[in-house]
Amino acid sequence: METSEIRRRFLQYFEDRGHTVVPSAPLPSPDPNLLFNVAGMAQFVPYFVGQQTPPYPRATSVQKCVRTLDIDEVGKTTRHGTFFQMNGNFSFGDYFKEKAIEYAWELVTKPQHEGGYGFDESVLYASVYYEDDEAIDIWKRVAGLPDDRIVRLGMKDNFWSMGIPGPCGPCSEILIDRGPEFGADRDWEAGDRYLEFWNLVFMQNIRGEGGGKEGYPILGELPKKNIDTGLGLERVAYLLQGVDNMYEIDEIYPVIERASELTGRKYGSEHEDDIRFRVVADHVRSALMLIGDGVTPGNEQGGYVLRRLLRRAIRSMRLLGYEDPSLVELLPVSLEQMKKSYPELETDFGRISQVAYAEEEAFRRTLTAGTTIFDVAVRETKASGAHQLEGAKAFQLHDTYGFPIDLTVEMAAEQGLNVDTEGFKSLMKEQRERAKADARAKKAGHADTSGYRELRDKGVTEFTGYQELSTDSQVRGLLREGAVAEFAEQGETVEVVLEKTPFYAESGGQIADEGLIVGDGLRLKVLDVQRPVKGLIVHRVEILEGVLRPGTDVHAQVDHEWRVSACQAHSGTHVVHAALRQVLGPNALQSGSYNKPGYLRLDFAWTSALDPATRSEIEEVANLAVRQDLPVSAQYMTLPEAREWGALALFGETYDEQVRVVEIGGPWSRELCGGTHVKHSSQVGALAVTGESSVGAGVRRIEAFVGMEALHYLGRERALVRLLSENLKTRPEELPAKVADLAERLRTAEKELERMRAAQVLQAGAELASNPRDVFGVQFVGHRAPDGVNGGDLRKLALDVRGRMGNEKPVVVAVLSVNDGKPGVVIALNDTAREWRLKAGDLVRIAAEKLGGRGGGKDDVAQGGGTDPAGADDALSAVEHAIGHQVTG
């Protein structure tokens, strides 16, 4: 049975039994403590913990998940993978243990021709929490299981909680006996013979403080008992498909087959190769799904995980012997399997493949440059007798050549070395602290959200900002450093929650509104507005006058000019996005945005820079749309309706069942968006594209000013053109030709200066060749050229002097210069000197050490440099001494 069919049957079964089918949430998690969703119940947490009222009494879903902790174990065992799918059925106070067990047992054991999975009942077991006699009784009645096929396990194995105080409850698992070839009889700990594939969580209790999976107190029972189940889709697939592990199921194994064809290696014949094949198959599928949900490769958080997965897959293919680009061969194979369950992947494959292939191209360049440096570092480490690569070297590989630390550790292990990861982390921390000293200062949120949740329990904040810029309201509560407070005084900066507010909270790329909140003797300046928990709008305010207390009547007023400019920027972002898609095609999809009054930037999927003509065309299309005075409207509908209508969703965003669709000119621009907008496109005003750049593999960024800021920008450009025209004494329209002429004349002059400098340097060749020093029979020329001579000219001089001196006697020529404060040295030997076993590479390293650097090259010519000009004279003396030592030694 194909994995897609297992998935379909699960959803159909529970839909037929009154469950609402809920689409999977995107892989990126909205929880700030998690990168990705790791459990099927993730999107239902607000219902389980009582933050929100569920819109349906029972639900079912197949949740996309990514587990990052086991990346290093992927391929080494047959049980670890990164991307996986969790089938689940959920009850929010509707049904409980008996119905959950009944549903699970029926679906698992019902014959396949009747829509079930057709598992043999005789090999199925149930595990239960050891005190849960109720569950044991149900298993006996519903499934007819005897006592010897019901296993009592402790809190560690069969009791679930979120790891913090809150809902919890006993679990019951369905296990299958795979037979004696997978382990000993009744060995529940090994996990290979008695494989758990469906976990039923009976959420009925409230737990207290305590760490770990056991030992915390149970405080009582929930007022409503809930059901949360998780059936591992990949596990069921390999059980039903008759294969031994998840890598061999229909959604994954075709990638292994294609990798085997490309590399000429056979899967199953050699352990190390098998590990690499599994890494490739797992990581290619995971990357496909992550990019599909809007993650792009980067150096932080989820982007770093994706980059690491892609690079491990690419490098594994190289270790298997395949040097050519591999993702172009493997990603389409994974698509063919995954699109059966996720057809949107095929629709979006143009963008997905662009991102992936660009990352591979970048990594291939990285490997070429970084591997050379890595090899040198390994040789030096081993030569010194050490067994650990320095943290500074690992940091250099990461910072300069883009090598993830995991890759360095992996490659070092292959060479029998460890890596000083603590030293690396210390350097990384220093770099981050320098780079992000003031980053996200205004977001300094609190890890503990209990204060926000306490205020959220008093009700949802009503947002009135779509209809008005001011409203009368009442202070529902205030927080100081995340904790609920009773009052705050003049001069303090605190957070305020109102019953209703016109202030837009930062989201969807649009920054928060600014303005004032005033009351009787009270004046607050709004600095920021956020939504720390769903349904709650929190204002960070500076108290300019008065004492702030809960229950105070206030008037909230958004800064009118601020909002107008913000609307111009947000609507301008939609206009630019539509213009991009019109000019470049449908694959130029937005992958992130930021807009504030007068300014916008938009990240989009694209692999190459836009030429000036294309940028101008995009700008023209956008301004034509503004000029056409297109109507701007917003309406609410269900998410499926919005998708069917063709509305574009921002990748990685989590949407409610009801979504807001913003249109500009009908279908020309139709996007899911919660931001504030103008009423007609003409209100955006002027739109000036100011820049376009790369922000990562397969992602470009376009920036623009709108409204008055665009006019100010164009005014500055006009003033600059006028100034240049006056200084160059030419008309504005003739400026490009005039500047091009000046640049060409400058290049010609620089080439002439270069020729004259080289000729001047070479003039010294004859004199140097005629006056060598005799060093125990070796004719040595040591010369410090004038400052400013570059490495190329030094090399020409050394070769010229060597050529003039012939081969009758051994000749060593060492020439040195300091250029831009950095010394460089070139050493050239004739054939006779090399017969005397002298080597240019050895000598240049000696010189470079005195210069505070390094060098290398061939036996006849070598080059080096450093950072210490003061060592120049010592460097030439050291070379002369080394010649004498080697000749006489």
Binding residue ranges for Zn(2+): 570, 574, 673, 677
The β-bridge relationship of strands 58-66 and 20-21 is: parallel
Residue at token pair 């194909």:
2
The β-bridge relationship of strands 632-638 and 658-664 is: antiparallel
Is 185 within 8 Å of 192 (Cβ atoms)? no
**What would you measure as the largest C-alpha separation in the chain, in angstroms?**
107
Question: Measuring CA to CA, how many Å separate 318 from each of 50, 76, 364, 782, 832?
Answer: 51, 18, 10, 46, 43
Whole-angstrom distance, CA of residue 314 vs CA of residue 368: 13
Phi-psi region of 753 (alpha: psi -120 to 50; beta: other; left: phi over 0): alpha
The angle subtended at Cα 371 by Cα 368 and Cα 375, nearest 5°, is 145
Residues in the chain: 889
Phi, psi of 418 (to 5 degrees): -95, 170
Whole-angstrom distance, CA of residue 602 vs CA of residue 432: 25
Query: What residue numbers does the annotated binding site cover?
Result: 570, 574, 673, 677
3-state helix, strand, coil in the chain (%, to 5): 45, 25, 30
3-state secondary structure of 347: helix
Half-sphere exposure of 598 (CA within 13 A, CB side): 8
Nearest to 2 by CA among 241, 230, 233, 231: 241
The β-bridge relationship of strands 418-419 and 388-389 is: parallel
The β-bridge relationship of strands 388-389 and 470-480 is: unpaired
The angle subtended at Cα 642 by Cα 640 and Cα 648, nearest 5°, is 115
Q: Which two tokens stand for residue 394?
A: 């690992």
Q: Which helix (H) or strand (E) segment is 815 a member of?
A: strand 811-819
Phi, psi of 689 (to 5 degrees): -75, 125
- Tell me which long-range contacts 428-433 makes (C-beta under 8 A, separation of at least 24): 428/395, 428/398, 431/399
